Chain A
Amino acid sequence: MSERSIDKTPVQNRSIMSHRDKAERMWGFIFVGFVVSGILTFMGFPLLYGIYISFFKWSIIGKNPVFLGLKNYASLLNDHLFVQALGNTVKYVIGIIVFCVPLSLLLALLFNREMPFVEGLKIAYYLPVITMMVAIAMVWRWVLSTEYGLLNYFLGFLGIKKVAWLTDPGWAMPGLIIMSIWKGVGFNMVLFLAGLKNIPTVYYEAADIDGAGNLKKFFKITLPLLSPTTFFILLTTVIHSFQIFEQALILFSGGAGGEITGAGPDNACNTLVLYLYNNAFKWQRAGYGSAQAFFLFIILIIFTIIQMRLQKRWVHYEV
């Protein structure tokens, strides 16, 4: 057996593979083979098959598909419900970016110091992150309920009149966003904290010597050196938020709202994934749903490419 390692070292004749290399090649394919075939079966093929389906009129029962060419894509633009769903999704994404990301940065900054029981406090913020969205949304149906809801109860202390979070078309989306912030703020907070911990303290010490104030330190040191983390968080949040689905589905199903399951009052919370789910699984329009899915996929790909490109160019890593 030891001859294997002997004939491996000089490699005089490269055309003849050593026994060991051959074995490694075979075992290499076997070791990664299960996972690779799984990925091709459950992720690669469905992606292509989905594009194929999107060219057909096809029901989820799967009978008699009719070829439509690009018609499904053309009707996307004329479908006011789809345009509305796209608008709602963008609204949701912007809401999360504008409120959730800065809030989590603020929390991370506040947490980034020596304090007693600080780890215990962090748990409170992190607890919603690890829990099941479906159950959380059920609880929030109750929290957001107009007459007896917890949120209106607290807003009452501030003299704010009862808001119909789940039944008023103007307030449904803000309600959905508030719930998502509560659920997700701890996630970004922990990421920001990790980023803050990576900033070398020498910069702050130097700034102290120069007599820089806290605000100046934040804008001149913290924010620039935190940019890789901030950047990562912003883009993953965008990508993640575009996929919003189960929050709305649970929050609004069976309540006020029209024919679209989970879309909320006047379809105010009809999102891209929700609409495609309804099309494919409730209304037997699998082909049309697949066209929407591909549209969503393109959006996600664009943001992913932006992320990869800009990460290389702009963000300065110091490791």
Chain B
Amino acid sequence: MKFNGITMKRIHVGSSLVYVILLAGGIFMLMPFVWMISSSLKDMESIFVFPPQWIPQKVIIKNYIELFTNSYYNFGRYYLNTAIVVIFRITGMFIFCSMAAYGFARLEFPFKNVLFLLVLATLMQPIQVSMVPLYFEMKFFRWVNTFMALVIPHSLGCFGGAFSIFLLRQYFMAIPKDLEDAAFIDGCNIPRTFISIMLPQVKTAYAALAIFNFQSAWNDFVWPLIVINNPKRYVVSLGISQFLSDRAALTNWPLLMASSVLALLPIIVVFLVFQKYFMRNLVMSGLK
């Protein structure tokens, strides 16, 4: 019994040491966020006070107001544009990726395996490699500066969208075949079986995928950078990068930090609410 007591105590001490280390590390991880928020609430005089004030002496929201009202940084517009892109991408993903996933999971047709390999292979091809030809292609389609360019390729499973297809396919394959057979015997054709029998079965996958696609669409930068150069069509990430071409704004730290807060806030809120889906997505995407 005594022996037991000692090990218990040792484990306890070890655990609390680990806990302290992890806690300190966690604080370090959060520090830039806290600093970003605190800086965004300061003005140009108080921002250069050293050592830094973590809690601003007087809280100023002028920076945020400026980002929404100044005609040069129109964050209302960026939010709206990003929301449009996010909503249409997720809708498109639901339609086209679930169709493809169902086809690959349940229908028999020639070249099925080859085509599925093609879909999977796209996961290894980063957009960075074909920036130039893609720009020419978008110009040819007259899609430069349009939402079409921002929405269509991703809806069709390109630029990482294959992950959605892969995941949905797994879900479809897990549904018992009897369900479908029963529908066919009752005279249900393939599209109807898909819409009214199969789709409702994979509802749980959609929550995770909606979040996954929200995250990638919201954070997307490289693709908008290539196809959008009209400020009217800027998404949030491009709106922020606009500061880079303006040296005066680049040293306006409070304004920069406020814009970063605006860019990060929606995704952080979604993350905190749907945290478990993020972790699950990550593990699934990692162990594919």
- Quick one: CB contact mask for B137-157 with A, threshold 8 Å, 1 for yes? 101000000000000110111
Contacts of B25 in A (CB 8 A): 107, 124-125
Is the beta-carbon distance between B240 and A138 smaller than 8 angstroms? yes
Residue from B48, B51, B250 in contact with A255 in the complex, judged by beta carbons closer than 8 Å: B250
Minimum Cβ distance to chain B for residue A127 (Å): 7
Q: Please report which residues of chain B, range 107-133, place their CB below 8 angstroms from some CB of chain A when the two chains form the complex.
A: 107-110, 112, 115, 118-119, 122, 124-126, 128-133
Residue A309, interface by CB 8 Å: no
Decide yes or no whether B104 CB sits under 8 A from chain A.
yes
Chain A residue, CB-CB nearest to B193: A27
A142: chain B residues at CB < 8 Å are: 35-36, 39, 253, 256-257
Are A32 and B100 within 8 A (Cβ)?
yes
B22 part of interface (Cβ distance < 8 Å)? yes
Least CB separation from A2: chain B residue: B185
Taking CB as reference atom, which chain B residue is nearest A118? B22
Interface flag for A205 (CB, 8 Å): no
B119:A150 contact, CB within 8 angstroms: no
Report the count of interface residues on B (CB-CB < 8 A).
105
B196 within 8 A of A: no
Instruction: Quote the shortest CB–CB distance from A279 to chain B (angstroms).
Output: 9
Q: A127-B271, A245-B222 are in contact. Are A38 and B286 (CB under 8 A)?
A: no
* Main secondary structure on B side of the interface with A: helix
Residue A232, interface by CB 8 Å: yes
For the complex, what is the distance from the CA of A53 to the CA of B135, rounded to whole Å?
A: 12
Given A148-B50, A254-B244, A293-B130, A139–B260 Cβ distance below 8 Å? Answer: yes
Q: Is A43 in the interface zone, CB < 8 Å from B?
A: yes
Contact A190 B279 (CB under 8 A): yes
Q: Which residues of A contact B245 (CB under 8 A)?
A: 254
Q: Give chain B residues whose Cβ lies under 8 Å from the Cβ of A293.
A: 128-132
User: Closest approach, in angstroms, between the C-beta of A56 and any C-beta of chain B?
Assistant: 11
Contact B156 A35 (CB under 8 A): yes
Offer 5 A-B interface pairs, CB within 8 angstroms, sorted by A: A123-B272, A124-B27, A131-B268, A133-B219, A245-B128
A24-B190, A250-B244 known; A50 vs B125 contact (CB < 8 Å): no
Segment among B13-21, B59-67, B69-77, B200-208 that sits at the interface with chain A: B13-21
- Does the CB pair B99–A134 fall under 8 Å? no
When the two chains form the complex, which single residue of B22, B115, B128 contacts A32, counting CB atoms closer than 8 Å?
B115
Neighbouring B residues of A236 by C-beta, 8 Å: 286
In the assembled complex, A159 has its CB within 8 A of some CB on chain B: no
In the bound assembly, the distance between CA atoms of A296 and B130 in angstroms comes to 10
Contact partner of A49 (CB less than 8 A), chosen from B26, B136, B185, is: B136
Binary CB contact string for chain B from 164 to 193 against chain A (1 if under 8 A, 0 otherwise): 010000000000000001001111011100
Indicate which residue in A131, A143, A286 contacts B35 across the interface (CB closer than 8 Å). A143
Q: Are A290 and B132 in contact (CB under 8 A)?
A: yes
Asked if A304 is at the interface (CB within 8 A of a chain B CB), the reply is yes
Q: What residue in chain B is nearest A143 (Cβ atoms)?
A: B32
Whole-angstrom distance between the Cβ of B211 and the nearest chain A Cβ: 10
* Contact A31:B103 (CB < 8 A) given known A46-B137, A126-B279, A153-B51: yes
Is there an interface contact between A35 and B26, defined as CB atoms closer than 8 Å? no
A140 vs B124: C-alpha distance when bound (angstroms): 29
A42 contacts partner chain B, Cβ-Cβ < 8 Å:
yes
B282 at the interface (CB under 8 A from A): yes
Query: What chain B residues lie within 8 Å of A41 (beta carbons)?
Result: 137, 153, 156
Q: Determine the residue in chain B with the shortest Cβ distance to A273.
A: B128
Partner of A280 from B132, B186, B237 at Cβ < 8 Å: B132
Q: Which residues of chain B are near A34, meaning CB under 8 Å?
A: 96, 99-100, 156
B215 within 8 A of A: yes
Q: Which residue of A lies closest to B47 (CB)?
A: A148
- Residue numbers in B under 8 Å from A30 (CB-CB): 103
Stretch at the interface among A77-85, A109-117, A169-177, A219-227: A109-117
Asked if A191 contacts B118 (CB within 8 A), the reply is no
B80 within 8 A of A: no
Residues of B within 8 A of A74 (CB): none
Given contacts A135-B237, A139-B32, A139-B260, contact A124 B26 (CB under 8 A): yes
Contact with B along A1-31 (1 / 0, CB 8 A): 1101100000000000000110111011111
Q: Which residue of B lies closest to A239 (CB)?
A: B124
Per-residue contact bits, chain A 230-265, to B (CB 8 Å; 1 contact, 0 not): 001100100100010110011001110000000000
Asked if A35 and B107 make an inter-chain contact with CB atoms under 8 angstroms apart, the answer reads: no
Asked if A45 CB lies within 8 Å of chain B CBs, one says yes
**Contact call A25/B19, Cβ cutoff below 8 A:** no
The 0/1 profile, CB within 8 Å of B marked 1, for residues 174-208 of chain A is 00000000100011001100100000000000000
A60 to B243, CA, bound (A): 24
> Shortest CB–CB separation between residue A12 and chain B, in angstroms?
19
Is the beta-carbon distance between A38 and B250 smaller than 8 angstroms?
Answer: no
Q: B268 contacts A127, CB within 8 Å?
A: yes
The reply on B88 being an interface residue by CB < 8 A is no
Give A188 Cβ to nearest chain B Cβ, in Å.
Answer: 9
Q: Known contacts A5-B185, A300-B129: does B158 contact A49 (CB below 8 Å)? A: no
Q: How far is the CB of B30 from chain A (nearest CB, A)?
A: 5
